Structure 1
Amino acid sequence: MKQETFERHYTDRWDEFERWSEVLDGAREADVAMDERREIGREFPARYRQVCHHLSLARARHYSFGLQQRLNRLALEGHRHLYRARTPVLASILRFVGAGFPRAFRRHGRFVLFSALLFILPGAAMSIAMTLDPDLIYSLVDPAQVASMESMYDPANRSLGRERQSDTDFAMFGYYIANNVGIGFRMFAGGLLFGLGSMFFLGFNGLFLAAIATHLTVAGFSSTFWPFVSGHSAFELTAIVIFGGAGLMMGMAGLAPGRKKRWHAIRDRARDALPLVYGGGGMLVLAAFVEAFWSSTTWPPVSFKYAVGGVLWVLTIVYFWLPGRHEP
């Protein structure tokens, strides 16, 4: 077979194999759906063997050096992907935090944006309504719970926030983790009900948090409440919206499964959303740490706590905007 005929027959397959190598390296991850990534994983070994066979043919038939060089490079790339040592766990985590998570956030940005609207708009409406009728809070929160909230943010307290029965920051750290992660996973799991559960939890939490914040502000506790929430709000609120977005992804798969069976579509979309779940869970743990060891303290000046909160919000925005854009 002449070289021209050989290349005409197989160039498309070599180009595809080269693209697959880029996907496995992560360079084109944002352009590839979960289904295609799984197909690449299944087909890659067979395609690698074919490239090796083509390389041996090119050498035996004395095809051009350029063609042999290209096939040799593809064979080396395939060998590297199939037989390279597994990445250490710590390195994998660092790579995910440094690039994978923010890339997943941007890739599924429309779901995260819709989640944010479902969270923010009901809360904004509640805040506006409560300026006209402060008693609206009792339609969501019973009087005993309102009184408890007021007690938590009493300026006379040594530590702000929830009463500490054990009086230790570590105990509250564990409590905040359980509470925060529980809220996040309810939002994610709510996506199984065609997204209705996620929408409900997003809207309800937006209403509840806005009602509490507005009431405490109007009641004169703004000097303690807002410095308390400023520290951990960037991590906690962003994570809640991310979990909601992951749930909405499953819900959309259930509503529009395409050619797949409905359950298979939901399952595949849930796998696609896992980076958001892992990253959001990490953010909730970080929020719990800040809430337990920083937000509850009363010794820093209020202006300093606001400054720290502002810096954390800026860092959060930059983190999701920049990292992972130009990395392989």
Structure 2
Amino acid sequence: MKQGQFEQLYQPLWHVMELEIIELEKPDGRLKGSELASFASRYRRLCHFHALAKDRHYSSHLVDKLGDLVVRGHQQLYRRKQPFMQQFTSFIVAGFPRLVREQQRYVWWATALLYVPGLLMFLAILWQPDLVYTVTAPEQVSSFESMYDPENRTLGSARESDTNVQMFGFYISNNISVAFRTFASGIVFGIGSIFFLVYNGLLMGAVAGHLTNAEFTQTFFTFVVGHGSFELTAICIAGAAGLKLGYALLAPGNLTRKESLKRASLVAIQLVYGVIIMLVIAAFIEAFWSSNNILMPWQKYLVGGFLWTLVIGYLVFSGRSLRGERGQG
């Protein structure tokens, strides 16, 4: 993109930022609550524009102007830091879903690496049941059969509340450990993230295929349909964060690998913050809803469908401005 096009497209944003910074630099300067809440996200975009201008070797006048705004904006951002709960709410409502959309290239790759192998393994095991043992050990297969065998479940009853609480803690620990491995292993040029995404997809497909062959579909799918929306989506986003780290090392561009990794990690860590929140929600649903045997299957599927719609709608629409989002150049 030529400099003229770049300025025409994005100058309105940094002009607004300049006016806000000038206002904040006044002794009694202040912004409205909504303006202050979105100041951090606009500042991140300003930093992105400054980095683009430097990388594309635009005129020194433009680079210096954006650099000056970045420095002044940084001073105001940290001098007038929002209360923690306000920052947290802003991140959940707008910052995280907006960041996921900005990094959607990595999210789509991670999603494909999880679901495509899973679907292929599922279909393969429907055709050749013994293939399940290429992914899982026989004792693990037996454990899954016992867990989802309808005859081993007492219909019309629910677990004790203290058991639910214990399982809630277990699911949080287990889910976050899986997500962290998927993310952190991306530092090995993305290979680790690819491995864990593919492996978890194969395992997911193997279990689903085997239990389908065993005709345990109702107990299995009614259990996973609720929390799966948050858990599986979070694993994909964790994988996307890992892939971003790997790509920063493989293709640093004009930056050193260290600087490229540093910039990528600032984004990746924010994605992981959102992943942790999603996994806590998934663990709560899994412990207190998915395990409930009192509910009818159609009720589980109805709520599961609603939760999938909620997660997708949240990531696609939450945090968008009324005028819509524009590309990042």
Indicate the TM-score class for this superposition, using the shorter chain for normalisation.
0.7 to 0.9
1:159-308 → structure 2 map (5 Å cutoff): 168-308=163-303
Q: Which residue of 1 aligns with 2:124?
A: 129
Q: How far off is 1:126 after superposition?
A: 0.8
Residue 33 (structure 1) aligned with residue 28 (structure 2):
no
Q: How far off is 1:309 after superposition?
A: 0.2
Give the 4+ runs in structure 1 shifted more than 6 A: 39-42, 164-167
**Where do 5+ consecutive residues of structure 1 fail to align?**
1-12, 49-77
Counterpart-to-counterpart distance in 1, 2:163 and 2:177? 22
Contact kept, 8 Å, 2:46 with 2:70, in 1: the verdict is no
1:113 is matched with which residue: 95, 108, 124?
Answer: 108
Q: Which residue of 1 aligns with 2:312?
A: 317
**Relative to structure 1, is the Cα distance of residues 125 and 46 closer, same or farther in structure 2, using a 3 angstrom cutoff?**
closer
Counterpart-to-counterpart distance in 2, 1:17 and 1:112? 31
TM-score normalised to structure 2 length: 0.77
Contact kept, 8 Å, 1:17 with 1:47, in 2: the verdict is no
Amino acid at match of 2:149: D
Counterpart-to-counterpart distance in 2, 1:120 and 1:15? 38
State the SS of the aligned residue for 1:168. helix
Q: How far off is 1:130 after superposition?
A: 1.1
State the SS of the aligned residue for 2:255. coil
Q: Which residue of 1 aligns with 2:29?
A: none
**Relative to structure 1, is the Cα distance of residues 251 and 165 closer, same or farther in structure 2, using a 3 angstrom cutoff?**
farther
State the SS of the aligned residue for 1:260. coil
Q: How far off is 1:246 after superposition?
A: 0.4
**Relative to structure 1, is the Cα distance of residues 44 and 149 closer, same or farther in structure 2, using a 3 angstrom cutoff?**
same
1:129-168 → structure 2 map (5 Å cutoff): 129-158=124-153, 168=163
Contact kept, 8 Å, 1:99 with 1:327, in 2: the verdict is no
**Relative to structure 1, is the Cα distance of residues 19 and 184 closer, same or farther in structure 2, using a 3 angstrom cutoff?**
same
Q: Which residue of 2 aligns with 1:72?
A: none
Contact kept, 8 Å, 1:173 with 1:289, in 2: the verdict is yes
Tell me the alpha carbon deviations over residues 122-157 of structure 1, each in whole angstroms, 9 at most, x when there is no partner. Answer: 111111211221000001111111011111112234
Counterpart-to-counterpart distance in 1, 2:249 and 2:89? 33
**Relative to structure 1, is the Cα distance of residues 321 and 16 closer, same or farther in structure 2, using a 3 angstrom cutoff?**
closer
**Relative to structure 1, is the Cα distance of residues 157 and 91 closer, same or farther in structure 2, using a 3 angstrom cutoff?**
farther
**Relative to structure 1, is the Cα distance of residues 42 and 175 closer, same or farther in structure 2, using a 3 angstrom cutoff?**
farther
Identity of aligned residues (%): 43
Contact kept, 8 Å, 1:30 with 1:107, in 2: the verdict is no
Q: How far off is 1:88 after superposition?
A: 1.1
Q: How far off is 1:310 after superposition?
A: 0.2
Tell me the alpha carbon deviations over residues 286-319 of structure 1, each in whole angstroms, 9 at most, x when there is no partner. Answer: 1011001110110001100000000000011110
**Relative to structure 1, is the Cα distance of residues 327 and 138 closer, same or farther in structure 2, using a 3 angstrom cutoff?**
same
State the SS of the aligned residue for 1:244. helix
**Relative to structure 1, is the Cα distance of residues 173 and 35 closer, same or farther in structure 2, using a 3 angstrom cutoff?**
farther
Q: How far off is 1:264 after superposition?
A: 2.6
TM-score normalised to structure 1 length: 0.77
2:82 is matched with which residue: 71, 87, 94?
Answer: 87
Count of residue pairs the alignment pairs up: 282
**Larger-Rg structure:** 1
Q: How far off is 1:46 after superposition?
A: 6.8
**Relative to structure 1, is the Cα distance of residues 81 and 249 closer, same or farther in structure 2, using a 3 angstrom cutoff?**
closer
Counterpart-to-counterpart distance in 2, 1:169 and 1:128? 33
Q: How far off is 1:285 after superposition?
A: 1.0
State the SS of the aligned residue for 1:26. helix
Residue 100 (structure 1) aligned with residue 72 (structure 2):
no
